[in-house]
Amino acid sequence: MSKSYFATVVLAYRNLTSQYTIPRKIALAIIISEMANIFLSIII
């Protein structure tokens, strides 16, 4: 994955945790699953 994509994910994570009262563990789990989905779609 490119660094710019990772930076976008980090920004999205910060926005999620700052704007909403989503627990960080849940937000992190969502982002990890999204990254896994994208990674798998690239491979397949």
pLDDT over threshold 70, residue 17? no
Residue 44 has what DSSP assignment? -
pTM above 0.95, yes or no: no
The pLDDT value given to residue 8: 82
Tell me the average pLDDT of the chain.
Answer: 77
In angstroms, rounded to a whole number, what is the distance separating the alpha carbons of residues 39 and 44? 9
d(CA 36, CA 34): 5
Reported confidence tier of residue 20, pLDDT bands at 50, 70, 90: low
Angle between helices 24-43 and 3-19 (to 10 degrees): 150
